[in-house]
Structure 1
Amino acid sequence: MLKIGLGAPQYGVFADPSTIASCAIAAEDIGYDSLWVGDRALVPDEPHDPYPGGGPVPPEYRTFLDPVALLSFLAHATQRVRLGTSTLNAPFYSPVLLARSLATVDILSGGRLDAGLGLGWSSDEYEAIGVPWQGRGARLEEILDVLERAWSDGPLEHEGRLWRVSRSHLDAVPVQRPRPPLLLGGFSAATVERIGRRADGWLGVGLPVPQLSYVIAQIRQSAETHGRDPQALRMVIRVNPLVQAEEAHTDQVPGRGTVRQLADYLLAAHTAGADEVLVDLQQTARSGTELTALAHQLHELLRQGCPPR
């Protein structure tokens, strides 16, 4: 059965406690399986890197709530839905503090965390935070090493190129054992190999369906190469559509289109191998009421059209 996720209210006009709580509760009542937060540190006036997908950085991103703090809020506001990061820019953070923060969310939510990690796309953010842009893939690898050790049942000890942790205790570990699911974003060759070697799944984006099928196949092949069960990996596909009343040209979907066009694309993505789809409606809706209405329409279409797998 296809799992359906929703981008949690977090930025722009949705960065408001009452709106976040009401929309989260409504999403759970509608039947959504998960809520997801993103990670944006700042929006430069003159960015050095192009925004993924083209065009300017959405102005709504200028008001962007902290993802981990928001997950803790959502853990209190909801009872059932899983809570994920899509994606947390892991190199921004100290791995020991990241391990503590994510474990806290898992504890507060009763074991509902999905830890989605990525590298981000903005060198401006790296510069502002004080983290080197170069070598970010290797930095992520070591962060994953520290997370796994910090969340293990024994003492934490790590000796790496970037961090050294003497034998220590961090006993506030996640509820989920041996760890919360670790999903990785991106689709470079290095990312595909890393997912197959050590992650629990992929956080993908709304690529054309043939390309989506190809990347999923490459990830599963990577898992098999590393002696892992390729079918055990979880594939989550994210779209950030501009929903409109009139039909968009097919080559614009899923970037824009009607609710029906969006649902048809997501169902095709499911047939192509996606286990879960994630839709962020904050760039279309202008109020919590509108976001909830769109979320309900989309959920109904996806449930009606979901093919068995």
Structure 2
Amino acid sequence: MRIGFSVPQFGPFADPDRTAHMCAALEALGCHSLWVADRLLAPLAPPEGYVGGKEMPARYATHLDPLLALGVAAAATEGVRLGSSTLNALWQPPLVLARALTTLDLISRGRLDVGLGLGWMREEYQAAGVPWQGRGARLEETLDVLDAVWRSDTVVHTGRLWTIPESTVLPKPLQDPRPPILLGGFTWPALERVGRRADGWLGASMPLPHFQGLWAVAVEAAERAGRDPAGLRRVFRVNADVTRAEADPAGTYQRGTVRQICEHLRLMCAAETDEVLVDLQLTTDSPEEFLDLAAAFTAELADAAPSPPPAPPA
């Protein structure tokens, strides 16, 4: 199991100097990766509400740009992987996105993991001037353009949305043939796309039956495409709601003591290449408490052996 943390970039952590200091401290704890998230705005009265019917956290109104925050993290660290979970892929033309990601891969000396998603908030699409309808097809062509830019000496693309004449686009990423691409999402089309096109899935901590049903879609899609599903990475995000006392076991996929949350994460991580992404930005406003909790999660998750599931009733 690999252990990752969120790059501090929201609310009280949206300060480049603080971000750099905390990223260096997180690497010193022994984590394997650091991940940025992507928010464009926080509507005062979103018509469709926040995910799960909850109120949007106020700190999401204050945020650092994810790609620039990754640049800060790259400069402050030496060996950890750096990724996005997730970068909303459709808010800029894919050729512009490819240029920025290539630059990040070079700045980080080949440590970039490209995590892309579609987002969920219509208001952000409206503000970015990008159609809400047809998001899946737009993402498919975005992936085509990224492949064309990163894998070909002479870059050319003719699609429904974008055209690139025969061109030279240099430099190329340091990672060959390209940085790993991981895709987020929790619908059948999203998991089918993971199995068919991606190097891995940006998932989340969730009840095991739900996770197993989703992952089966990616496995079947990979097999249909002639790919080995065992080669797909999985990164499980948890927006940890840490409690002092033990919480209801039914909700420990996201809420409970550090040990309870980690026990569930260990059950989800069945492969050595599986990774957890612990986001503590909604848990505390204090950099010191953030790092203390990160140390507690690192120590607990270092023992990667899962507890055996309860025996079925006789």
Q: What root-mean-square deviation, in Å, do the aligned CA atoms of Structure 1 and Structure 2 show? A: 1.5
- The residue that corresponds to 2:283 in the other structure is 284
- Whether contact under 8 Å (2:196, 2:218) holds in the other structure is no
Deviation at 1:305, TM superposition (A): 4.1
- Whether contact under 8 Å (1:48, 1:122) holds in the other structure is no
Q: Whole-Å Cα distance in 1 between the matches of residues 138 and 287 of structure 2?
A: 38
1:129 and 2:128 equivalent? Answer: yes
Letter in 2 for 1:14: F
- Whether contact under 8 Å (1:216, 1:235) holds in the other structure is no
Deviation at 1:218, TM superposition (A): 2.2
Deviation at 1:274, TM superposition (A): 7.3
What's the TM-score, normalizing by structure 1?
Answer: 0.96
Q: Secondary structure at the match of 2:50?
A: coil
Letter in 1 for 2:117: G
> Comparing 283-292 with 132-141, which one deviates more in the overlay?
283-292
Letter in 1 for 2:207: P
Q: Whole-Å Cα distance in 2 between the matches of residues 28 and 217 of structure 1?
A: 33
Q: Secondary structure at the match of 2:21?
A: helix
- The residue that corresponds to 1:99 in the other structure is 98
- Whether contact under 8 Å (2:188, 2:214) holds in the other structure is no
Deviation at 1:24, TM superposition (A): 0.7
- Whether contact under 8 Å (2:206, 2:254) holds in the other structure is no
Q: Whole-Å Cα distance in 1 between the matches of residues 74 and 103 of structure 2?
A: 10
- The residue that corresponds to 2:297 in the other structure is 298
Q: Secondary structure at the match of 2:165?
A: strand
Q: Whole-Å Cα distance in 2 between the matches of residues 178 and 66 of structure 1?
A: 27
Q: Whole-Å Cα distance in 2 between the matches of residues 180 and 63 of structure 1?
A: 29
- The residue that corresponds to 2:191 in the other structure is 192
- The residue that corresponds to 1:265 in the other structure is 264
- The residue that corresponds to 1:150 in the other structure is 149
Gaps of 5+ in 2: 308-314
Aligned residues: 307
Q: Whole-Å Cα distance in 2 between the matches of residues 54 and 296 of structure 1?
A: 32
1:112 and 2:111 equivalent? Answer: yes
Deviations 1:155-207 (A, max 9, x none): 21111101111111111211011110000000211112211111101000122
- Whether contact under 8 Å (1:35, 1:81) holds in the other structure is yes
1:109-258 to structure 2, matched below 5 A, reads 109-258=108-257
Deviations 1:259-295 (A, max 9, x none): 1111111111113897011010011121111110000
Q: Percent identity?
A: 50
Q: Secondary structure at the match of 1:179?
A: coil
- Whether contact under 8 Å (1:246, 1:258) holds in the other structure is yes
What's the TM-score, normalizing by structure 2?
Answer: 0.94
